[in-house]
Amino acid sequence: MHPIPSECPVCHSELTVTKLYCRECDTTIEGRFISGPFSQLTLAQIEFVEIFIKNEGKITHMETELGLSYPTIRNRLHEVIRALGYEPGKADSRGLTDKDRRKILDELNQGIISSEDAMQMLTE
């Protein structure tokens, strides 16, 4: 499978996901869906993020699992950070602290705020 494209190949505007399909049971769901910031990542970057999370962000554990050097893992992490629209080592330009972002995501997870509200709070 291919990652979801985020940009129109014709006019370069942002694409909106409008249909989801299950190959197993032939169910189709139509609507407007938010793809989120991780849709910008390549498959290799998503796999890296999964390993990073599994190892609780401990690069030394990742070195062992991946058989890669510390500088190589740092470089891959920086690639992911840039793909998400941030610059490694720089503070969030929106002024959100990690605690603020976590609170927003927790509220989203608990259903206190909508995904649209969360995206707006995280991107403005």
In a domain, 123, yes or no: yes
pLDDT for 1: 64
Read off the amino acid at residue 122.
Answer: L
pLDDT for 77: 93
Report how far residue 117's alpha carbon sits from residue 92's, in angstroms, rounded to the nearest whole number: 19
Residue 15 phi, psi dihedral angles, 5° rounding:
-85, 150
Report how far residue 3's alpha carbon sits from residue 43's, in angstroms, rounded to the nearest whole number: 7
Residue 113's domain comprises 94-124
Per-residue pLDDT of the chain (124 residues; tens, 9 = 90+): 666 777 888 998 888 888 889 999 999 999 988 777 787 788 899 999 999 999 999 999 999 999 999 999 999 999 999 888 888 876 555 567 778 888 888 888 888 888 888 888 887 6
In a domain, 12, yes or no: no
Total structural domains in the chain? 1
For the residues of 53-77, what is the DSSP string, one character each? HHTTT-HHHHHHHHT--HHHHHHHH
In a domain, 17, yes or no: no
In a domain, 23, yes or no: no
In a domain, 14, yes or no: no
User: pTM for this structure?
Assistant: 0.52
